[in-house]
Amino acid sequence: MKTISPELSSILPLFYIAWSDALLGPSEIALIEAKLLDIAWLSDEDKELVSAWSNPQNPPNDELMTIWSTAIRTVAAQFSEQEKLSLSRLGIEMAKSQAGEDNLYWLNENVLTALQELEKAININNLSNHTELFSEVQRNALILSKLKETSFDPKKLQDILDDGYGEIRKKVFQLLQDPLFNHKTLREKTSYREQVIVWLQLLADQGFGSLHYPDSSGGKNDLGAFAMVFETLGYHDLSLTVKFGVQFGLFGGAVLNLGTEYHHNKYLKYIGNLSLPGCFAMTETGHGSNVRNLETTASYDNVTDEIIIHSPTPDSQKDYIGNAAAHGRMAVVFAQLIVDNINHGVHAVLVPIRDGNGKTMPGVEIIDCDYKLGLNGIDNGRVRFNRVQVPRTNLLNRYGNIDENGKYSSPIEKEGRRFFTMLGTLVGGRVCVPRAGLSAAKTALTIAIRYGLKRRQFGEEGQPEILLLDYPSHQRRLMPLLAKAYAFDFALTYLTKQYSENIDRDLREVESLAAALKSLATWFSSEAIQQCREACGGRGYLSEMRFADLKADTDIFSTFEGDNTVLLQLVAKSVLSDFQKELGEGGIFGFAEFLAERFLSAAREKNPWAIRNTNESHLLSTDFHLHAFRYRERDLTVSVAGRLRKHIGRGLAPQQAFMRCQNHLIVLAKAYGERVVMEQFAEVVDKCADVTLKPVLKRLCSLFALHTIEANASWYLEQDYMDGSKTKAIRNVVDKLCAQLRDEADGLVAAFGIPEDCLNVSI
């Protein structure tokens, strides 16, 4: 790199800090342009470099950042670690060291003011957060001073939670701390919606919306990175999070997964940069979960070579459609595809709903859903179609096509299988939604635990009052929730990997996993936020503590992307189907082998010593936890299968038999989901090599396991898997784990890595 001028050296620290997390925010870019490019002390050549360094699409590479940090470190070494050193002062010192005092004729009050305003915008008041600029001695001193009083380094635990996506998470957090993203309480929906669409455009400008699209469409083909962006946005504003998911995940995902190269080339780039805002129009007033019986029709007219989209009944209007009421210009409409008077089942068609000026298209009627319980930054609407004509090529034709001669064909012959394959577009939503809900729960837990470590209540006379988190009841209220937050984090990471690795293959197994974890995790989020609100007493009821918005905005997650209760029934059917397949593959010998294995397992686990074993080492054993979870799922599977077989054997239709067993099916699905979560938590603990992290992760895992077993104690007692003495012992160990984790609580929420600006709560 050629030598830069002293004038440019003066702003080098500002650029280094701004780009240190690989992101330059829009406010920073605007201020650079306003304050630097129009003043005389930079030459034209310098200004060209400033413009190049300010381009978010082409950030400085690692080599250039290393050169910058080396130059800054040389000057920073002249200052003591205790000295508060501003970026503007450091820049001036760099200029002096390069040019000397006699060559600073350009340095005046305007220059100082510009540097200070830039420093204020970047929001870095000293360099103590950037230890790479210090000597090793200074760096070690800083690290030790910053560590919480816990047995582990929260940053190391955060790295495990980030699962390789720490850099993208840093970039999103850096952007969210830009002044343009300052969190505002907007109760009037129009203002709120307009704020959200501005935020969404800023995210699109940084390329976040198209991360999971192909390279040819401006993306990175990285579904994991996209999911991490979605999860991270959940710490800021959930209206923005869901709007992001609707635009880039549902609308763009439908075009990506149901369309072909023609649609990808024509639309994905513009969906990703938000120049084509759109909707995912599946749900109808009369049909939500029952997608197969949607009433909207898409009839092919072989005379005009067009598809006619029509809402034949009042109940066939598309309902609760995000992006519809204000901003959407196109919708992916799910409808019954009719060709030559033959209904080929539900397909997806791209339908323009507004023109470029925002005017509703002919034949399209849009009604605002108006105010909701939460998420009022999203413009939900109802959409009706009155014989709207679109080109034949607007059919997303990966799984069903109409050719130039008006003939329908599909690579999947059976209509039922084709339908469920197309519904795979929903899996991405079910992967991402619980991650955002979990971010809200982590936010609530961080607030409640920090409040519990600050607020004092009662105590012995003459002595300081007791911290809330030192009360066993308070520990019992919050510590199991903290353990569950970690448990679901690891399970949802596993789900994301399974989805991204199987997206081009059979997704049926992943669909069941996504449905189970989405249901359990979103219910957990609602429970956790409510408990955290109560744990903060009257203070928690204030809007400034954020629980009000967190509760209202996440409430819909239990029915969003599929009603949880309905999803769990689908999960149970999948578990039973796998069980039937398992027995069928072995024939009579397979069934006999299963019965023998079940008998031996029952004999081993139900012997008097096993069911009464209250030894603490046994109760804390991962082997015991895993077997308890697996045994419960397996026993419930056999029990429900037997019930169904009995009802059908007595002449009941399969649908009626399932109705009789509906409550049992839901219990089975929950057991399946809990078993998966437990297995993933145990695997993370097993793979952890850090001697300081492993013990705390093991305690968290044990607390999750035993608290879940405790919640299902009645079932284990009824099945003689354990007796009353063992369930009492488990209760005591749960109390003990809660007390132990109280000392780690501050570090455990610090490991969530939520910046103070995103937390936005003063405790």
The DSSP secondary structure of 662-726, one letter per residue, reads: HHHHHHHHHHHHHHHHHHHHHHHHHH---TTHHHHHHHHHHHHHHHHHHHTHHHHHHTTSS-HHH
Q: What is the DSSP code string of 282-302?
A: --BSS-SS-GGG---EEEEET
Q: Are residues 37 and 186 in the same domain?
A: no
Contact status, residue 336 vs residue 350, Cβ threshold 8 Å: no
The pLDDT of residue 81 is: 53
Residue 193 falls within a domain, yes or no? yes
Number of neighbours of residue 634 by Cβ within 10 angstroms: 18
Alpha-carbon distance of 322 to 380, in angstroms, equals 4
Residue 271: closest CA among 244, 237, 247, 294: 247
CATH of the domain at 589: 1.20.140.10
Number of domains in the chain: 4
Q: Are residues 321 and 264 in the same domain?
A: no
Residue 439: closest CA among 278, 198, 236, 275: 236
Alpha-carbon distance of 271 to 217, in angstroms, equals 10
Alpha-carbon distance of 574 to 572, in angstroms, equals 5
Q: Are residues 593 and 715 in the same domain?
A: yes
Alpha-carbon distance of 90 to 75, in angstroms, equals 8
Residue 383: closest CA among 405, 398, 362, 368: 368
Contact status, residue 196 vs residue 377, Cβ threshold 8 Å: yes
Residue 79 falls within a domain, yes or no? yes
Cα 416 to chain centroid distance, Å, stands at: 31
The three-state DSSP-derived secondary structure of 194-220 is HHHHHHHHHHHHCCCCCCCCCHHHCCC
The pLDDT of residue 488 is: 98
b/e code 251-266 from CB counts within 10 Å (16+ = b): bbbbbbbbbeeebbeb
Q: Are residues 576 and 692 in the same domain?
A: yes
CATH of the domain at 355: 2.40.110.10
The pLDDT of residue 589 is: 45
Residue 255 CA: distances (Å) to CA of 250, 262, 297, 395, 635: 9, 10, 19, 10, 42
Alpha-carbon distance of 733 to 436, in angstroms, equals 32
> Among 130, 145, 160, where does a domain finish?
145
Q: Are residues 601 and 679 in the same domain?
A: yes
Residue 490 falls within a domain, yes or no? no
Q: Residue 318: beta bridge partners?
A: 284, 383
Residue 656 falls within a domain, yes or no? yes
Residue 547 falls within a domain, yes or no? no
Q: Is the dihedral of CA 291, 295, 296, 297 positive or negative?
A: positive
Residue 557 falls within a domain, yes or no? no
Contact status, residue 439 vs residue 234, Cβ threshold 8 Å: yes
Give the CA-trace dihedral at 189, 195, 201, 207, to 10 degrees: -100
Amino acid at position 21, single letter: D
Q: What is the DSSP code string of 477-510?
A: HHHHHHHHHHHHHHHHHHHHHHHHHHTTS--HHH
CATH of the domain at 219: 1.10.540.10
The pLDDT of residue 608 is: 73
Alpha-carbon distance of 145 to 143, in angstroms, equals 5
Q: Are residues 124 and 26 in the same domain?
A: yes
Residue 588 CA: distances (Å) to CA of 591, 633, 635, 636: 5, 23, 20, 22
**Which contacts (CB < 8 Å, 24+ apart) does range 161-168 have?**
161/489, 161/751, 161/752, 161/753, 162/228, 162/753, 163/493, 164/224, 165/224, 165/225, 165/228, 167/21, 167/22, 168/211, 168/225, 168/228, 168/229, 168/232
Contact status, residue 680 vs residue 161, Cβ threshold 8 Å: no
Q: At what angle do helices 622-649 and 662-687 cross, to 10 degrees?
A: 160
The pLDDT of residue 123 is: 54
Residue 203 CA: distances (Å) to CA of 42, 438, 570: 31, 21, 35
Q: Are residues 216 and 360 in the same domain?
A: no
pLDDT tens profile 64-100:
888 888 888 887 777 665 555 677 777 878 877 777 6
> Residue 215: which residues within 8 A CB-CB, separation 6 or more?
221
> Among 367, 400, 423, where does a domain finish?
423
Domain housing 99: 6-145
> Residue 546: which residues within 8 A CB-CB, separation 6 or more?
443, 444, 447, 760, 761
- Name residue, tokens 């066939």: 316
Q: Are residues 203 and 225 in the same domain?
A: yes
> Among 272, 297, 326, where does a domain finish?
272
Amino acid at position 180, single letter: L
Residue 732 falls within a domain, yes or no? yes
Contact status, residue 490 vs residue 680, Cβ threshold 8 Å: yes
Contact status, residue 655 vs residue 665, Cβ threshold 8 Å: no
Q: Are residues 325 and 265 in the same domain?
A: no
Q: Are residues 90 and 200 in the same domain?
A: no
Q: Strand 408-409 vs strand 401-402: parallel, antiparallel, or unpaired?
A: antiparallel
Contact status, residue 178 vs residue 26, Cβ threshold 8 Å: yes
Residue 71 falls within a domain, yes or no? yes
Instruction: Write out the H or E segment, with its range, that includes residue 409.
Output: strand 408-409
Q: Are residues 374 and 254 in the same domain?
A: no
Q: Are residues 53 and 127 in the same domain?
A: yes
Walk across the sheet containing 364-368 and list its strands: 318-321, 381-385, 364-368
Could you say which residues of the chain have pLDDT below 50?
1, 125-126, 141-148, 587-589
Query: Exposed, middle or buried by CB within 10 Å (0-12, 13-18, 19+), for 498?
Result: middle
Instruction: Write out the H or E segment, with its range, that includes residue 593.
Output: helix 564-605
Instruction: Write out the H or E segment, with its range, that includes residue 319.
Output: strand 318-321
> Residue 755: which residues within 8 A CB-CB, separation 6 or more?
173, 176, 177
